[in-house]
Amino acid sequence: MSEYNVSQCRTPVFFDRFERKDENQHQTHYCPGCGHGVAHKLIAEALGELGLQDRTVMVSPVGCSVFAYYYFDTGNVQAAHGRAPAVATAVKRSNPGSIVISYQGDGDLAAIGTAEIVHAANRGENITVFFVNNSIYGMTGGQMAPTTLIGQTSTTSPWGRRPNNEGFPIKMAEMLSALEAPVYIERVALSDAKHIMQARRAVKKALQLQKEGAGFTMVEILSPCPTILKMEPTVARHWVADTLIKQFPLGVYRDRKPEFEPVLVPQKGVAELLGISGKRLSDEERHARRQHTRAKTIKVSGFGGQGILLLGQLIAEMGMREHMEVSWLPSYGPEMRSGSAHCDVTLSHDRVGTPLVSTPDVLVAMNEPSLRKFAPHVRPGGVILYNSRQLPEDLKFEGLTVACVPASEIADQIGSAKVSNVVMMGALLEATDCLPFTTAQAVLSGLVKNRKLAEMNEKALEAGRNYLDTEVLVGAVAGPDGCGE
Ligand X SMILES: Cc1ncc(C[n+]2csc(CCOP(=O)(O)OP(=O)(O)O)c2C)c(N)n1
What spatial distance separates the first Cα and last Cα of the chain, rounded to whole Å? Answer: 51
Q: Are 248 and 133 in contact (CB under 8 A)?
A: yes
Q: Which of 28, 53, 65, 408 binds ligand X (CB under 6 A)?
A: 65
Q: Which of 33, 48, 75, 105 binds ligand X (CB under 6 A)?
A: 105
Q: Closest distance between ligand X and the C-beta of residue 108, in Å?
A: 3
Contact segment (CB under 6 A) with ligand X among 13-21, 58-66, 166-174, 327-335 equals: 58-66
Which distant-in-sequence residues (6+ apart) come within 8 Å of 22 by Cβ?
A: none
- Nearest Cα residue to 43 out of 225, 199, 187: 199
State the sign of the Cα–Cα–Cα–Cα dihedral 410, 413, 418, 419: negative
Position of minimal CB gap to ligand X: 105
The residues with which 363 forms a beta bridge, in sequence order, are 299, 384
Contact segment (CB under 6 A) with ligand X among 43-51, 101-109, 398-406, 428-436 equals: 101-109
Secondary structure element (H or E) that encloses residue 177, with its range:
none
Amino acid at 82: G
Site string for ligand X, 123-142 (x = CB under 6 A): ---------x-x--xxxx--
Which C-beta is closer to ligand X: that of 225 or that of 414? 225
112 binds ligand X (CB under 6 A): yes
Site string for ligand X, 70-89 (x = CB under 6 A): -----------x--------
33 binds ligand X (CB under 6 A): no
Contact segment (CB under 6 A) with ligand X among 10-18, 45-53, 56-64, 350-358 equals: 56-64
Which C-beta is closer to ligand X: that of 48 or that of 138? 138
DSSP 157: B
169 binds ligand X (CB under 6 A): no
b (16+ CB within 10 A) / e for 445-461: eebeeeeebeebbbbbb
Secondary structure element (H or E) that encloses residue 57, with its range:
strand 56-60
Q: Closest distance between ligand X and the C-beta of residue 219, in Å?
A: 15
Q: Closest distance between ligand X and the C-beta of residue 111, in Å?
A: 8
Rg from Cα positions in the chain:
28
Burial class of residue 118 in the structure, from the number of CB atoms within 10 Å of its CB (0-12 exposed, 13-18 middle, 19+ buried): middle
Q: Closest distance between ligand X and the C-beta of residue 447, in Å?
A: 38
Which C-beta is closer to ligand X: that of 42 or that of 357? 42
- Interface with ligand X in residues 145-164 (CB under 6 A): 145
Which distant-in-sequence residues (6+ apart) come within 8 Å of 421 by Cβ?
A: 306, 307, 308, 310, 311, 366, 407
Q: Which of 62, 149, 202, 324 binds ligand X (CB under 6 A)?
A: 62
Per CB under 6 A, residues contacting ligand X are: 62-65, 81, 105-108, 112, 132, 134, 137-140, 145
